[in-house]
Every structure is written in C-alpha cells, then in structure tokens.
Amino acid sequence: MHPIFLTIMKRLGLSVLTLFIVSVIIFSTVEFLPGDFGQAILGQAALPDTVAAFRRELGLDLPLHVRYFDWMGGVLTGDLGTSFSGRGTQGLDNSRPVIDLIAPRLSNTLFLASFTALIAIPLSLFLGITTALYRNSIYDRTVNTITLTTISFPEFFVAYLLVLIFASFYKVFPSLANISPDMPLGELIYRSALPALTLTLVIVAHMMRMTRAAIINLLANPYIEMAEFKGLSRVRIILHHALPNAWAPIVNVIAMNLAYLVVGVVIVEVVFVYPGIGQLMIDAVTARDIPVIQGCVMFFAVTYILLNLFADIISIITNPRLLHPR
C-alpha cells in the first residue's frame, strides 16, 4: 500500500479517537449541573409530574453509559435532541429539534468563514512573502508593528471601530448583518462585509507573521546560501527555493486560523447580530439550553479536528520526510 495512504489512514483513526473522547467530555459535563436538572430547566413552578415526565423523556433515570450511546447514536444519525426552550411549565410543548435550529445557521456561519478566508489567505500570504523578501526594511518594520498591534486587539474592538468608521460616520456598509438565505449573492456580500472585514483583520496578522517566520527560518539553510552564491535574485530564491519547503508550516498556520475563524465568529456574530451558529450558542448559554449547547460545541469541535487533520495531511504530502518519523 502507498505509504502516504497508510499515514493518512493512521491520522484519520487518531482523529476519530479524539472525536470520541471529546464527545464523552461534552456529554458528561452536563452531569456536573448542580441541583435537579429537570427542576432547574422547567423552573420552580413546575409540577412534580411534569418534572418526572421531563426526566423520563431525557432518560435521566437510565445509567450514564446507556444515555451516552443513545445520544451518540442520535448525533451520528443527525438527531441532536430537542431544545429546552419553548417548553411550557403547564405541559405545553413548543420546543424544536436542535438540528432544525442549527442547520440554517450553519450555512450562514460557513458562508461568513469562507468569505473571510477568501480575502484573508491570499492577503496574508502576499504580506508574509513580501516582508520576508524585504526584511528589516521600513516596509517590513511597519507591517510587523501593525500586525503585532492588531494581534492583541480584542475582536469587538476592531468590530466597533469599523462600525464607527464605515457604518456610523460614512454610511458605506450596514452595521447590522441581518442576512437571509434567499438574498442574492451581491446583497449577502454587501451585508456581511463588515463582519468579514473584522475577521480578516484579526487573522491576517497571525497568518502573515507565521508565513514570514517560516520563510526566514529556511533562509538560514546552506542550500539558500548556495543559491545566493549562484547569483540568483532574491525573488527567485524566495519563490523557488524557500517557499516550496515552507508550505507545510504555512498550511498548518492557515488551517489553525481557519479553525480559529470558526470560533472567532462567536463574538463577531454577536456584535453584528449575524444569524450564525455562534449567536445561537450564546443565546443557548444564557438560557442554559443544554442540548443546543452540546450540538453547537460538537459542531465546533468536529470542524476544529477536521481542519487539523487536513493540515496534517497537507504537510505530509508536501514534505515526504514526515512519512518516516525518526
């Protein structure tokens, strides 16, 4: 069997194992909820019968491992349980399945994340490569100081700064990104411009710095010196000699930042009232709607693990030396 295929299968197995442990953690944290679960959710006014029925419905009378496999089976078949909210104390039940709450918002969040990635990745690669090329020049120093500064800005600071400038002063973009799936693409892009711009500013700094560091690291190698002695131009050395070997760390950083992007949307979505999964999660946390929280966390964790797996595979393909660890 091809060694690359074998390694990928090994990584895949490891990711499934991690996912299993993560799901156990997510599921079992609810066990730590202080006090009686049913009473806490339904409120003090709930009748004992209602509480008992609620507990039976959640399966709280069953042992932990039975409930875990029940829940996991549901997750695998796309059934994440039923939201707690909308459950009346008088026996009325207006609650909705978690999957119905998550699914429409999922596409919104993924739209925002990919929109941002499309701007941020080329921009940071360009900045990273050019600063490495002209390192210690005024251009490099300026970009470095600016990125070190923006790296430490909280997302909401960047977001509100952009709102102040582009929505309040100059009414270029709307300050609220209330999108809906039936809008044309142009409208979608126009409305989500500010959230995407915020996220771009936040992640470009990190990606650009890592790209620059990866390339500069390689410049200390003897084969780069050799290329210099041959009289090659700096541009050619960086693009043809350093960059191919820098792909592995760069792809890793990109994957890491994409993973961050999916999480970073939480705050940005709240600022711009963007109807995404982050907003849903915050609402669920405030209402202590555990099934919705579990569903959202599962989604975030799966994305995170998948992106890391993807980064691993890319770095193995671009750097065959990783196939034979030590």
Partner 1 sequence: MMSTDNRSTAAEVSQIKARRSLMENMLRGLRQAPPTALFGMAVIFLYLMIAIFAPLIAPYGESEVFPDAYAPWGEKFLLGTDQLGRDIHTRLIYGARNTIGIAIATTVLSFLIGGSLGLLAAINHSGWLDQLLSRIVDAIMAIPSLVFALMLLAVFGTNAFNLIIIIAVIDATRVFRLTRAVALNIVVMDYVEVAKLRGEKMGWIMRKEILPNITPPLVAEFGLRFCFVFLTIAGLSFLGVGIQPPTADWGSMVRENAGLIQFAEYDITAALTPLLPACAIALLAVAVNFVVDWFLHKTSGLRDEQ
| From 68, 139, 156, 247, residue interacting with partner 1 (rule: CB under 8 A) | 156
Residue number, 144 or 318, with CB nearest to partner 1: 144
| From 110, 305, 314, 317, residue interacting with partner 1 (rule: CB under 8 A) | 305
Encoded amino acid at 311, one letter: A
Q: 98-116 b/e with 16+ CB inside 10 Å = b? A: bbebbeebbebbebbbebb
Binding segment toward partner 1, per CB under 8 A, in 92-100, 121-129, 216-224, 249-257? 216-224
Q: For residues 172-191, which are near partner 1 according to CB under 8 A?
A: 175
| From 8, 22, 110, 123, residue interacting with partner 1 (rule: CB under 8 A) | 22
SS3 of 86, please?
A: coil
Size of residue set near partner 1 by CB under 8 A: 58
- What are the residues facing 87 on neighbouring strands? 93
Residue number, 73 or 154, with CB nearest to partner 1: 154
169 binds partner 1 (CB under 8 A): yes
| From 42, 196, 210, 296, residue interacting with partner 1 (rule: CB under 8 A) | 296
CA dist., res. 324 & res. 6, Å (int): 12
168 binds partner 1 (CB under 8 A): yes
Q: For residues 236-295, which are near partner 1 according to CB under 8 A?
A: 259-260, 262-263, 266-267, 270-271, 281-282, 284-286, 288, 290, 293-294
Least distance in Å: CB of 1 to partner 1? 27
Least Cα distance to 114 among 195, 187, 222 occurs for 195
CA dist., res. 174 & res. 191, Å (int): 6
CB distance 314 to 258 below 8 Å: no
CB distance 16 to 301 below 8 Å: no
CA dist., res. 293 & res. 280, Å (int): 9
136 binds partner 1 (CB under 8 A): yes
Residue number, 21 or 185, with CB nearest to partner 1: 21
Sign of the CA dihedral running 296, 299, 301, 303:
negative
90 binds partner 1 (CB under 8 A): no
| From 47, 66, 103, 148, residue interacting with partner 1 (rule: CB under 8 A) | 148
Least distance in Å: CB of 228 to partner 1? 11
**Degrees to nearest 5, angle at CA 238 with 236 and 241:** 80
- What are the residues facing 82 on neighbouring strands? 97
Residues 6+ apart with CB under 8 A from 88: 94
CA dist., res. 113 & res. 161, Å (int): 20
Least distance in Å: CB of 89 to partner 1? 21
Where along the sequence are the contacts to partner 1 (CB under 8 A)? Answer: 18-19, 21-22, 25-26, 29-30, 32-34, 135-136, 145, 148-149, 151-157, 160-161, 163-164, 167-169, 175, 216, 219-220, 259-260, 262-263, 266-267, 270-271, 281-282, 284-286, 288, 290, 293-294, 296-297, 300-301, 304-305, 308
